[in-house]
Structure 1
Amino acid sequence: MPRNRLADEASPYLLQHADNPVDWYPWGEEALARARREDRPILLSIGYSACHWCHVMAHESFEDEATARLMNTHFVNVKVDREERPDLDRVYQIAHQILARRPGGWPLTVFLDPQDLAPIFAGTYFPPEPRHGMPSFREVLEAVARFWREHRDEARRQGAELGRILAGVRPRPGALPDPAAAFAAAVAELAAQHDARHGGFGGAPKFPQPTLLVLLARAEKPRGRAMLAAALAAMARGGLRDHLGGGFFRYCVDADWTVPHFEKMLYDNALLLPIYAEAAARDGEAEAAEVAEATAAWALTTMQSPEGPFWSSLDADSAGGEGAFYLWTRDEARSVVGEADWPLVSAHFGLEGPPNFEGRWHLTARTPLAQTAARLGIDPAAAAAALARARARLLAARAARPAPGRDEKWLAAWNGLMIGGVARAGRLLGREDWIDAALRAAAGTRAALWRDGTLHASGRSGRLGAPGFLDDYAFLGLGLVELVQARFDAGLLAWARTLAETMRTRFADPAGGFHLTAEEHDRLPLRLKPTADEAVPSGNGAAARLLAALGLILGEGALLDAARRTVAAAAGDIERAPSAHATLLLALDEIEHPPATVVVRAADAGPWREVLRRHPDPRRLELVLPAADAGLPPPLAAYRARGDAAWVCRGTACSAPLASPEALAASLASPASSA
């Protein structure tokens, strides 16, 4: 059977559709020119390789000969990997929300006017036959084709009206709000959404929402800390986490964190890892430390490529269907664990109760091991040993199953998140091996995706994707800032500075803030300036935090001013919905109340690092510099003393040199240390 044009693509998601009978094109001028030339609507289908319902629609419709004939007769069909092209995905998700008056998702199905790419009709998943109030996909194809054929002018009037609506989708500027008042308002918003029974926010489906958790940690309010602790415990113990192999799934389909959607995304784990590490460092929580350890182990063993960068995702599906890799029957688990350890293991992982997923069990651990051991009259140390044995046996048995597919492309933005997450967690918990892994990822990302002053959004098999978007520059730059705090490298700091300056050159809006796209990207019906957080931090929030951090580290007022203008460009949005703009709110706080910066110059960094770990402050910037000046930028080379020393700086004022780790400890322990 001949393969379609997607056979020449690098994206694993596009390659999954290379054998479809659909005459697919990748997004590009060839497809757009044909649509214009033949005046045929574009059928734009957007998804990603780990997406369960994308696979379902592919099997039901795109592999069906009759459906493919309809698609090929009436449309120019374009398949897009949303991870490679966030610009297309975000614009048409917004269009879908306006047209359908409900949130979108994946697969996203949009029909476009070939002349101006305005949407004619949009939906998500469509079944092969009518059900649950949804038309069949074939009915949709025939209806859109008929509408285009018989009501072309009406379709274009609708497109023009939608264009006017999209033109109004822009941030609201204003004066910078008071950070304390904005934090208080954000915590109040989250309190209204808080699920006091199950932890987390809202009902089903339940998402981890890491940007909100960071906001609660920074707000320093007892109410916020209680909500944070409840969410962290619920996610650690419930079905969102893989209790055998480590790492978090994308979300849970229920309100009580039992049954996940089984895909694992790099970005969720990159963002959650440092949150748990911070909880472990700040509060000495053993459970948080164990979760951080397991998440980092999963990332470094399963998701880091030999070349250094991290791969993108693990599929929700494998042989046997959605989640099959992770599910157990009671008899299967019992035979693997063995009779001696079975009572403890079955109680701990919920195997005593009814099955929680289609007649099988997805492992959860709602009750801490110590409580389970006490109820069964088992010594805590013996219980821990038994659970470790059982996990090893279950994991080995699971490894023999057909594994979910892994999307082995590299994304600059998501690598930036994981570099920063692993580096921060390693610094907080004293894990030099994690910092080593972050360094390898940074070096590999530079080698793979940085070409002639341009960062590319994606890469695989030696092929580069589109020029990078705002998120690529901002997330990678922030990741490098975290990495140089974990282990100083002048070259990486210089690269972070270059990324920030390139970002300012290519994406800045003269009116303030940053566009998602640069001039070299495709012209779409809307040029976005993303300010609200979604599954990942907003591009403008990350950009503002990057500029603020570099401005403080390098003593450059121009960078701090640029950060302030970025926040001001969305100040109205922050005041209207502060919790939806958590990353910009963090940037606002860092600009208006600059964090303390600790600079150490020492031949032996170990004792100084230990002091910093014993006195954690999540807002603090930390730079442990080599004793020699070689390669240091001038502002950092200016920190000099006779022998090893540290300086604690607040705003533009720095302490006198502190000549010993003990003196640094005393300074950090003082009430003003985090002012």
Structure 2
Amino acid sequence: MSTSHQGHSGRVRNRLATSTSPYLQQHADNPVDWWPWCPEALELARSTDRPIVLSIGYSACHWCHVMAHESFADPSTAELMNAGFVNIKVDREERPDLDKIYQRAHQLLTERSGGWPLTLFLTPSDQTPFFAGTYFPPEPRHGLPAFKQVLQGVERAYRGQQTVIATQNARLTAALRQLEPRPAAELPTPRAIDEAVQRLAASFDTEHGGFGGAPKFPHPTNLELLLRRVARTQDLIRPKSEDHPAAGLDDHNVAPDALGMAEFTLERMCRGGLQDQLGGGFYRYSVDRAWMIPHFEKMLYDNGTLLSLCCDLYALTNAPLFRESATMTADWVMREMQLPAGGYSSSLDADSEGHEGQYYIWTRTQVESLLTPAEYQVFAAVYGLDRPANFESAWHLHGDRLPEAVAAEQRLEHATVEALLRSARATLAVARERRIHPDRDDKVLTSWNALMIKALARAARILERPDYLESAEQALAFIRLTLWREGRLLATCKDGVAHLNAYLDDYAFLLDALLELLQTRWSSADLAFAIDLAEVLLEQFQDPLEGGFWFTARDHEALMHRPKPLSDEATPAGNGVAAVALQRLGHLIGEPRYLTAAAMTLRLAADSIARMPEAHATLLMALEESHSPPEILVIRATDKRLEHWRREAQRGHRPHRIVVAIPADLTETLPGTLGAMQPGERPRLYRCRGTHCEPPIESLDDLRTG
């Protein structure tokens, strides 16, 4: 592997210049002698007995940019790094395997949660971390040492305290092993779901929505669990009308029932500063309790899970807000994130022009100069421009007031206010397009694309938008063409270069997305692909003895630890999604091996779920369907009646129902129990739950009353 490359400016660029990762490429001009994680770098550390500086981040990370500017671009800091260490830069999005291991190690070493940038120092012999931190400043401040001081201190410690480091490393390795789950004899009981809902209610913010205090994250899997609870318990849906809208930004102290928590939280996100009120899409998280000021990066995975939630709440409540937010998000994804080849980009940066949020914020003067007086009057009242600045002497748009309340105060018709807001947003969006945009990370990640494929398939079905289905199918076609090779998935692709063995999340999320697509339109090829993915999950990732799924495949490179992640993080837990999807596919085609694998996963997770059920929402969804299998409806019909019956079967929010509409004239042989569900002269519907199937029905009235 060559050491340097000549850039267009004539400057010498380091090894990262040829990386597929935009994050690594951002460091290609550093004077640091960076390596990517590779066998050559690890061997160099061993042969020269130099500790490894491992720096993990991602391209949209604001503090990663700060540390790069302050330290990695500084020649004197680079000199210390190059003289005493082998320096390895990792994109946590391309290498989540490394990130999961070393985030957990950081937590054990420091007794604090981690984050990005993650900074670790590893022993060269076995890559075990012996010192860890996150961001370090160039000079001592806020109780943090300067990064140069850290480098000097760590090098002295490595040379002079080998015995102490070896003892600590042994304890760390043992601690990582002890944290691994052990299977219980029985499945958890459904009481764990009740406990999770109760704990969520205890931490629910009745004033602003969400759970806990600042910083406040979306936690979409917890909201999905609450909506499933609503559907399971048949809670009455509160009526919506112009006179009685959903609990809004002018209301306080919402009762923490399942529907109230989910609906109020998502409404606050949609109306507030977490959603881009002009261009659509959700930011990463809110730095305050009120969902006012976000961390401005936009991640594909957040928008996939939140798009699904908006669709579900619209199906449940018929509230226009959730349809509008879903449409804005889906349109943003197609407009700004989908690449010409079909895949979706990973993220938009938080920064532009060197400042966080610069692209999104406004001054009063800017807004007033672009809008008519009538537009400005209502726009300022709704989005807070008539109140003190909320972001560095400027304004980030946040829905301070409900349009209904502003209409009443200004003695305007509600429809007039909504029309003025639409025209004002359109004008400002056009003006904002002329600004310098945040950088886009154009690598295509299989797992994150799968989350968006699932979301757009659901949006296409619930919102009746065929263009959303077309977008999802284009992304799936890209994965099939570029990232599926010789029966295995690859994790990432950038500029046509696909590489890295895929992880648990890639297989589980894509299997789940295919099942969602099959409910939107039938494809025998997609069902066959889903079965292929399920088989790789069992062959390469499942622990056949203790249950659950490792994050890496059997033939993955050997690392210092091989985790089985169970709890939800920013994305759903791979073990949880695998258990849900395998159960659903197992019931659909009658494959008991898939059901057994899911049950073994739930037994493995029993103790973890008991300790903190609210952190395992995805596994709790699998647990719910293990105890009470979903209702499966298989429709066989021709022409327009097939689509009509499908829409009727899927009407409303029905998370515990799987509906597939298979053309009666299908020529392919259907696998498993599907093969026995033959068409008739009239439309025919087969209803099954678990291992029990009822006689087919041939009337929609029977479906509605059944």
Asked if 1 retains the 8 angstrom alpha-carbon contact of 2:188 and 2:606, the reply is: no
State the secondary structure of the residue aligned to 2:179: coil
In the aligned structure 2, how far is the partner of 1:537 from the partner of 1:76?
Answer: 34
For 2:262 and 2:189, the matched residues in 1 are separated by: 20
- For 1:179 and 1:245, the matched residues in 2 are separated by 44
2:589 corresponding residue in structure 1: 554
Partner residue in 2 for 1:666: 705
Q: Distance in 2 between matches of 1:444 and 1:83?
A: 19
Query: What is the letter of the counterpart of residue 559 of structure 2?
Result: L
Partner deviation per Cα, 1:250-292 (whole Å, 9 max, x = no partner)? 0011111110000000000100111110110111111111111
Can you give the 5+ residue segments of structure 1 that lack an aligned partner in the other structure?
Answer: 668-675
- The correspondence of residues 406-425 of structure 1 with structure 2, limited to 5 A, is 406-425=440-459
Partner residue, 1:646: 685
Partner of 2:602: 567
- In structure 1, how many angstroms separate the alpha carbons of the residues matched to 2:469 and 2:332? 15
Letter in 2 for 1:645: R
Superposition pairs of residues 348-497 of structure 1, within 5 angstroms: 348-497=382-531
Offset at residue 566 of structure 1 (A): 1.2
- Separation (CA, whole Å) in 2 of partners of 1:177 and 1:548: 14
Instruction: Please say if 1:535 is aligned against 2:545.
Output: no
Q: Secondary structure of the residue that 1:110 maps to in structure 2? A: strand
The AA in structure 1 aligned to 2:111 is R
- The aligned residue for residue 504 of structure 1 is 538
* Pairs aligned (count): 667
The one-letter code sitting in structure 2 at the alignment partner of 1:214 is: E
Using the TM superposition, give the Cα deviation of residue 470 of structure 1 relative to its aligned residue in structure 2, in angstroms.
Answer: 0.6
The offset of 1:122, in angstroms, is: 0.4
Question: Which residue is equivalent to 1:160?
Answer: 170
Q: Are the equivalent residues in 2 in contact too, given 1:629–1:637 (CA < 8 A)? A: no
SS in 1 for 2:616: helix
For 1:519-668, what aligned pairs fall within 5 Å after superposition?
519-603=554-638, 604=640, 605-634=642-671, 635-640=673-678, 641-667=680-706
- Which whole-Å deviations, capped at 9, do the CAs of 1:393-435 have from their partners, x for residues lacking one? 0000000000001100010111111111111222222222211
Report the Cα distance in structure 1 between the residues aligned to 2:56 and 2:615, rounded to whole angstroms.
25
Q: CA deviation at 1:378?
A: 1.2
Q: CA RMSD in A?
A: 1.3
TM-score (structure 1 length as normaliser): 0.97
Amino acid at match of 2:615: A
Q: CA deviation at 1:514?
A: 0.8
SS of residue matched to 2:667: coil
Distance 2:604 2:421 in 1: 52
* Matching residue of 1:230: 264
Paired residues of 2:650 and 2:659 also in contact (CA < 8 A): no
Q: Deviations over 1:65-95 (max 9, x none)?
A: 0000000001000000000000100100011
Answer whether contact 1:249 1:265 (CA < 8 A) is retained. yes
1:176 Cα deviation from its structure 2 partner: 4.1
- Does the CA contact (< 8 Å) of 2:182 and 2:546 recur in 1? no
Question: What is the SS of the residue equivalent to 1:614?
Answer: coil
CA contact (8 A) 1:429 1:613 kept: no
Corresponding residue to 1:315 among 349, 363, 383: 349
CA drift of 1:632 comes to 4.2
**2:44 equivalent among 12, 21, 34:** 34
For 1:662 and 1:428, the matched residues in 2 are separated by 22
Q: 2:195 aligns with which of 185, 194, 219?
A: 185
Alpha carbons of structure 1 residues 130 and 441: separation in structure 2 relative to 1, 3 Å? same
Paired residue type of 1:653: H
> What is the CA–CA distance in structure 1 between the aligned matches of 2:327 and 2:564, rounded to whole Å?
36
The reply to whether residue 218 of structure 1 matches residue 225 of structure 2 is: no
Counterparts of 1:167 and 1:179, CA distance in 2: 27
The aligned residue for residue 300 of structure 2 is: 266
Question: Take 2:50 and 2:169, find their aligned partners in 1: how far apart are those partners?
Answer: 15
Letter aligned with residue 491 of structure 1: A
1:656 shift after superposition: 2.9
Equivalent-residue separation in structure 2 for 1:383 and 1:361 (angstroms) = 21
Unaligned 5+ runs, structure 2: 1-10, 236-256
Does the 8 A contact of 1:615 with 1:665 survive in 2?
Answer: no
SS in 1 for 2:515: helix
> Relative to structure 2, which stretch is displaced further, 151-160 or 62-71?
151-160
Matches of 2:199 and 2:533, distance apart in 1: 34
- Quick check: 2:382–2:403 contact (8 Å CA) kept in 1? yes
Paired with 1:403 and 1:540, the residues of 2 have a C-alpha distance of 37
What is the CA-CA distance between 1:125 and the residue it aligns to?
0.4
Partners of 1:104 and 1:168 in 2: CA distance: 20
1:119-176 CA-partner distances (Å, limit 9, x unpaired) = 0100000000100110001000000011011112221221111111111121242144
**1:489 CA displacement:** 0.6
- AA aligned to 1:565 is M
8 Å Cα contact 1:50-1:313 kept in structure 2: yes
**Residue 629 (structure 1) shift:** 3.0
Q: CA deviation at 1:354?
A: 0.5
CA contact (8 A) 1:84 1:458 kept: yes
Say whether the 8 Å CA contact 2:646–2:659 is kept in structure 1. Answer: no
Whether 1:278 and 2:316 are equivalent positions in the alignment is: no
- Equivalent residue, structure 2, for 1:673: none
1:7-86 alignment runs, 5 A limit: 7-86=17-96
TM-aligned CA deviation for residue 647 of structure 1: 2.1
Alpha-carbon distance, 1:179 to partner: 4.5
Instruction: Say whether the 8 Å CA contact 2:220–2:306 is kept in structure 1.
Output: yes
Q: Which amino acid aligns with 2:307?
A: L
Matched residues in 1 for 2:477 and 2:132: separation? 41
Cα distance in 2 between the residues matched to 1:426 and 1:94: 38
Answer with 71-80 or 552-561: which moved more: 552-561
Q: Tell me how far 1:570 sits from its aligned partner.
A: 1.1
1:99 corresponding residue in structure 2: 109
Decide whether the 8 Å contact of 1:177 with 1:575 is kept in 2.
Answer: no
**Cα distance in 2 between the residues matched to 1:663 and 1:305:** 45
> Contact (CA 8 Å) 1:250, 1:262: kept in 2 or not?
yes
CA contact (8 A) 1:318 1:405 kept: yes
Q: Which residue of 1 aligns with 2:245?
A: none
- Indicate the SS of the match to 2:87: strand
The alignment partner of 1:459 has SS state of strand
Q: Distance in 2 between matches of 1:229 and 1:652?
A: 35
CA contact (8 A) 1:410 1:458 kept: yes
Q: How far is the alpha carbon of 1:595 from its aligned partner?
A: 0.9
- SS of the residue 2:199 aligns to: helix
Partner Cα separation in structure 2 for residue 50 and residue 352 of structure 1: 32
- TM-score (structure 2 length as normaliser): 0.93
Shift of 1:320: 4.8
Quick one: distance in 1 between partners of 2:580 and 2:186?
15
Q: Helix, strand or coil: the match of 1:341?
A: helix
For residues 472 and 200 of structure 1, what CA distance do their matches in structure 2 show? 28
- What corresponds to 1:672 in structure 2? none
What letter is aligned with 1:633?
A: L
Aligned counterparts of 2:15 and 2:354: Cα–Cα separation in 1: 29
Question: Which digits, 9 at most, give the CA deviation of each residue in 1:526-561, with x for residues without a partner?
Answer: 210001111111111111111101101111122111
